[in-house]
Amino acid sequence: MTGPAHIFYESACYGGPVRSLFSTMFLDQVEVVSSSSLAFGQLTPYNRLDLEKGDLIFIPGLEGSLLLTEAFLESAKPFLAWLREQHARGVLVCSVCTGAFLLAESGLLDGLSCTTHWKYAERFTRRYPGIRLLANRLFVREEGIFTSAGVASGIDLALHLVQQLWGPYFAAQIAKEVVVYFRRAPDDPQFSVFIQYRNHIDNRIHLIQDRLAQSLDQKLTVEDLADVVSMSPRNLTRLFKKTTQITIGDYLEKLRVERAEQLISDGQTMQAAALHCGLKSTNQLRSLLRRHRGA
């Protein structure tokens, strides 16, 4: 929950009319230690929250073992009934990661689409076959309910909500404040190319991947990259392909496509996106997008 909480904290610092409260789904709890050892105190029982239409409820991820514990889910029923009442009153209900399981258990997602962390997708589908799970989406909105895929996508969702509330410029300021360079959209996949092809332990190739991702506006040759890791261009080319199963050129193109799409969705012009991605012209960018996305 700390990602979205910090986004709204910064929004308040920038003048957004935000008041945040931390609550608990059990009425006898005023403090609790989370599974990650974070201690929470002065918790407000949910039945003492006076929410209005347009307010936001964020349900954080749960310990995975709880999702299979019938006793826990049974004990959550009073809270889930209250959650349904709040949604009926126009309160926006959001979940991060496995928090979607609680929304599903409440019945709020029946017949709707949602997302959750990829690791729990199969478990979710088995338990809730009447809900359409979009397994490779960052976040999904349906009928005033938002579900997000994981910790980082909870931040993306919070920034999306900030944009809806106070506009794109305000959201861009908050993103800059928390050093989030590219606000991802709901249709973006959970697996960004910036983290794909990283399932290896060769630090030399990680260094090359970092250099490429951080220097898209520069014209780096294979020789330049080889100097970074003190290798010959031929050996680097061979090792990169062997380690990542993709060539340096193809990897660079994928980085440029994703970065360009992020920039364009964030309001940048085609020309600005092309320059940021080290391309000579908008025609070159359009050709690249067509080749990789069929656009």
Nearest alpha carbon to residue 101 among 143, 141, 62? 62
Report the percentage of the chain scoring pLDDT > 90.
53
Q: Token pair for residue 139? A: 């976040």
- Does pLDDT of 136 surpass 80? no
- Does pLDDT of 200 surpass 60? yes
Q: Give pLDDT, residue 201.
A: 79
Q: Which CATH architecture has domain 2-177?
A: 3-Layer(aba) Sandwich (3.40)
Q: Give pLDDT, residue 36.
A: 83
Distance CA 105, CA 107 (A): 5
Q: Give pLDDT, residue 32.
A: 87
Average pLDDT, the chain: 89
CATH 3.40.50.880 residue window(s) in the chain: 2-177
- Does pLDDT of 191 surpass 70? no
pTM of the model: 0.68
Report the percentage of the chain scoring pLDDT > 70.
94
DSSP string, the chain: -HHHHHHHHHHHHTT-------EESSTT-S-EE-TTS-EE-SPEEGGG----TT-EEEEPP--GGGGG-HHHHHHTHHHHHHHHHHHHTT-EEEEETTHHHHHHHHTTTTTSEE---GGGHHHHHHH-TTSEE-TT-SEEEETTEEEESSHHHHHHHHHHHHHHHH-HHHHHHHHHHTT--SPPPTTS-SS-TTTTT--S--HHHHHHHHHHHH-TTS---HHHHHHHTT--HHHHHHHHHHHHSS-HHHHHHHHHHHHHHHHHHTT--HHHHHHHTT-S-HHHHHHHHHHHH--
Q: Which residues pair with 55 in a beta bridge?
A: none
More confident residue, 23 or 184: 23
Per residue in 210-237, pLDDT tens?
889 888 888 899 999 999 999 999 999 9
Q: What is the CA radius of gyration of the chain?
A: 22
- Does pLDDT of 84 surpass 50? yes
Q: Give pLDDT, residue 10.
A: 96
Q: Give pLDDT, residue 181.
A: 56
Q: Give pLDDT, residue 295.
A: 47
pLDDT-derived band at 15, boundaries 50, 70, 90 = very high
Mean pLDDT of all residues in 93-122: 94
Distance CA 241, CA 251 (A): 10
- Alpha-carbon distance values, 81 to 46, 85, 143, 294 (Å): 11, 6, 17, 45
CATH 1.10.10.60 residue window(s) in the chain: 203-293
Q: What is the CATH number of domain 203-293?
A: 1.10.10.60
Distance CA 176, CA 248 (A): 30
> Which stretch of 100-104, 109-113, 133-137, 142-146 has the lowest confidence by average pLDDT?
133-137
Per residue in 40-83, pLDDT tens?
888 999 999 999 999 999 999 988 888 888 899 999 999 999 99
- Alpha-carbon distance values, 150 to 115, 221, 266 (Å): 9, 36, 21
- Does pLDDT of 115 surpass 80? yes
Q: Give pLDDT, residue 106.
A: 95
Distance CA 254, CA 248 (A): 10
Mean pLDDT of all residues in 101-128: 93
- Does pLDDT of 185 surpass 70? no
Q: Give pLDDT, residue 188.
A: 57
Q: Token pair for residue 33? A: 């230690």
Per residue in 255-280, pLDDT tens?
998 888 878 877 889 999 999 899 88
Amino acid at 40: F
Q: Residues with Cβ < 8 Å from 277, sequence gap 6 or more?
A: 216, 217, 256, 259, 260, 263, 285
Which residue's entry shows tokens 């106070």? 166
